[in-house]
Amino acid sequence: MTKAQRACLAEALVSGYDLLRRGAPSIDAVEATIRVLEGSGLFNAGCGARPQLDGTRRMDASIMEGRDLRAGAVAGIEGVRYPVAAARLVMEETAHVLLVGPLATHFARHFKLDRQPSPGKRVQRTVSLPRARLTGLQRKTRDLFAQMQKPSRLRREARETVGAVALDRDGTVAAGASTGGIALMLPGRVGDTPLIGCGVYADNEAGAVSMTGLGESIIRIAVAKEIADRLAGGANPATTARLVLAKLTKRVQGSAGALVLSRDGRFAITHNTARMTAGYWSGTGRPVVADRFP
């Protein structure tokens, strides 16, 4: 974690908590927190999203609130500064949960969401490939197709997702997440982030969960929903997260990190990866930010 990332995380925590302190709903706090991270360009989300194998930045995001189980998500959206804002519009302005691809981008344009700055020179050069490099890129694409059944390759290429969970004074929980995916991902690939019950879940009868890690493994276990179901039975957030992540490793050789918040305000930041940059704040002192948690 760089100094700039640490400062940005602290800013995001303050931004979200200040809304809660003023009586705003938890979903506002989650969206505001994630927007700070998306807009910073310091994480693999929003303005910092990595290009896919064809040089295009496509992003996924989701958001959910626990009172009425409302949820919204976008996958493969392009050119949007705050993908989580598009996910929330799907939740609030449509009868759907998930919009994908170019039509998700058109949806965001219709609501005049902020656009990303033009891509930098590095991305521009990737798009305008000379023939020799294009041939190599096509070969790499074929190789990646051959590697899709080998989780170890994808695990090495994983990058960070941003997310947040919150509980407001009315007892409503919310969760959200946003990502640019994994490095060198095949165009068309969708991970766990926009899949409700996999990357995020929120239920006032259980709690809120936001995941980061290798999406292919998280999807197979439906990790966020499994954690939430155990919370609904009264399980401890830290114990629950450890048990489910252990199951993830045992069953599908996966690795991940989880933000877990129970309906009564207990929380855990747990990961079975070497590091997970995250933080929390109770409104007093300074926000706690670290890249390793027990």
Pairing of strands 278-280, 71-77: unpaired
User: What CA–CA distance (Å, rounded) separates 178 from 180?
Assistant: 7
- Assess contact for 219 and 191: CB atoms under 8 A: yes
Q: Using alpha carbons, select from 56, 16, 20, 63 the residue that is nearest to residue 37.
A: 16
Catalytic residue among 56, 94, 105, 161: 161
Q: Read off φ and ψ for residue 91, nearest 5 degrees.
A: -65, -40
User: In DSSP terms, which residues pair with 268 in a beta bridge?
Assistant: 260
CA 193 vs. chain centroid, Å, equals: 5
Q: In whole angstroms, what is the distance from residue 129 CA to residue 41 CA?
A: 24
Whole-angstrom distance, CA of residue 152 vs CA of residue 294: 24
Q: Note whether 35 and 49 are within 8 A (CB).
A: no
- 245 — phi, psi (to 5°)? -65, -35
d(CA 53, CA 128): 13
Task: Report whether 184 contacts 72 (CB < 8 A).
Answer: no
Which residues is 176 bridged to in the sheet? 63, 164
Q: Is 161 marked active-site?
A: yes
SS3 state of residue 184 = coil
Which residues are the active-site residues?
A: 161
